[in-house]
Structure 1
Amino acid sequence: MKKAVFIFLLTVCFVPLANAQLGVKGGLNLAELTGRDGESSSYKAFYHVGLFYEAKVLGPLAIQPEVQYSVAGGRLKSAFTNYDSQLHYLTVPVLAKLTVGPVFVEAGPQFGVLLSADQSGQMQVGLAPDGTPAYGNESRPATGNFKRGDFSVVGGVGLKLAGGFSLGSRLVAGLNDINDVKNLSGINDPRLQNRVFQFYAALQFGGR
């Protein structure tokens, strides 16, 4: 978490102060976990809230670092399992933002630190006496099942409104494997990656 905050503060220190605007934002996350063999994934609705700092660089181009509390995860289902995962992240997107009239597009990297995770539903709960997997309904903390760091690429589009308000949508596509669970052979299960569609409203202080 300290590393993510440091990235945000470092970016703020090195972008121009002229015409810079702070803002708040929040909205809906539609998230899924992709990449696990033998399990189908589906989207779950979560949320995100955060702060951002837009600084003009040249003409319509700006740099926008952010700090967000963002919930990702999704539902995974197989012949024997059907469970939901909630992954609570502190995320720091650092985006290039191009505004033409009221319309803007934005893209850049995002760094995430896992704060906590929970799972609930029908899942493997241990081993049967014969050594085969045993399944049952359970709700449990699952922070140890996932890697602490998540690196993603972000792309989005939005519309600036009067009074400093704006609306936007983004795709946040995870690039690294976040799975940290070992199977019965002691080998990591197939890779998992985050995928999140974000829909948000934002307010810039001092915006026009």
Structure 2
Amino acid sequence: MKKFIVITLMLLGFGSQMYAQNGYSGIKGGLNLASLSTDGNSDKNLKMGFHAGVFTKIPLSESLAIQPELLYSGKGIKLNFDESMVADGEAKFNLHYIDLPVKLVFNLAEDFSFEVGPYVSYLMSANVDTDGEVFGADFTSEDELDRDHFNSIDYGFSAGLGFDLDPMIVGFNYNLGLKQVANSNDVAEDLIGDAKNMVIQAYVGFKF
């Protein structure tokens, strides 16, 4: 993990200088629609969040580039309990990650590209936000969760489309985790099983 971070930071810091004539760096951020691959999952379980960070696009040829990124990304799942006779509301299971994707960018046109590649993530913290009513009384809470219940490292694949509106970029990605979120033989695994992260992202960025 440390080696991956060092390599990514080197690419972010020096990549655009190596290919100054065509390469560029920038900032990007936007909406996350996150969920976990649990039984009974549905569109109602999508949790809204955000991601933000920096990137560098390093041309390898006219049609191909490599793009390392360093992002904060909010993941998790939203659980509704409005069908209960006792309680009505929702709970948000929040997972806060640092993502390090490295994408291959295929320039399909001058202003349109397809992006795909692996990512590695580091879990910074986890918490649960609850907002609802219990026996008719309002109830809200925010509880920190012990990171030891979860795998600190996640990894998976990201794929998406990007549009270059120089100096602005826009696009969307789908990130699919390949490692289960909960630690094995832990109470968290009893609750969410072998669930993995799934995130839909829409972003806006600016080149500099």
TM over 0.5: yes
Match of 1:64 in 2: 67
Deviation of the 1:39 alpha carbon: 6.9
Instruction: Show the 5 A alignment for 1:2-151.
Output: 2=2, 5-12=5-12, 17-18=18-19, 19-35=22-38, 37=39, 42-77=45-80, 83-99=91-107, 100-121=109-130, 138-142=141-145, 143-151=147-155
How far apart, CA to CA, are the structure 2 residues paired with 1:63 and 1:52? Answer: 10
Q: Structure 1 length normalisation: TM-score?
A: 0.78
Question: Cα–Cα, structure 1 residues 3 and 102, in superposed 2: closer, same or farther, change >3 Å?
Answer: same
Per the normalisation by structure 2, the TM-score is 0.78
**1:3, 1:83 → 2: CA distance?**
36
Q: How many residues align?
A: 189
Q: Percent identity?
A: 30
Do the aligned residues in 2 keep the contact of 1:21 with 1:53 (CA within 8 Å)?
A: yes
Give the 3 Å change call, closer, same or farther, for CA 52–189 of structure 1 in structure 2. Answer: closer
Displacement of 1:183: 4.0
Cα distance in structure 1, aligned partners of 2:92 and 2:201: 19
Instruction: State the Cα distance separating 1:20 from its structure 2 match.
Output: 2.3
> Which structure 1 segments of 5+ residues have no match?
123-135
Q: Does 1:174 align with 2:199?
A: no
Q: Report the aligned-residue RMSD.
A: 3.0
Distance verdict in 2 for CA 1:117–1:150, change over 3 Å:
same
The 1:169/1:38 distance shift into structure 2, 3 A limit, reads closer
Equivalent residue number for residue 155 of structure 1: 159
- CA deviation string 1:84-139 (max 9, x = no partner): 111111110000001112111100001100001111338xxxxxxxxxxxxx9753
* Alpha-carbon separation, structure 2, partners of 1:112 and 1:171: 15
- Contact 1:4–1:91 (CA under 8 A) maintained in structure 2: no
Amino acid at match of 1:161: L
Deviation at 1:75, TM superposition (A): 1.2
Structure 2: runs of 5 or more not aligned: 132-138
CA contact (8 A) 2:69 2:100 kept: yes
Secondary structure, in 3 states, of the residue corresponding to 1:179?
coil
Superposition deviation, residue 76 in structure 1? 3.1
Q: Alpha-carbon deviation of 1:3?
A: 5.2
How far apart are residue 49 of structure 1 and its match? 0.6
How far the C-alpha of 1:9 sits from its partner, in A, is 2.4
Deviation sequence 1:23-47 (CA, Å, 0-9, x none): 1111111111122x46767101100
Distance in 1 (alpha carbons) for counterparts of 2:98 and 2:12: 17
Deviation at 1:188, TM superposition (A): 8.0
Check 1:183–1:38 CA distance in 2 against 1; reply closer, same or farther (3 A cut).
Answer: farther
Distance in 2 (alpha carbons) for counterparts of 1:45 and 1:14: 34
CA 1:189–1:74 in structure 2 vs 1: closer, same or farther (change >3 Å)?
A: closer
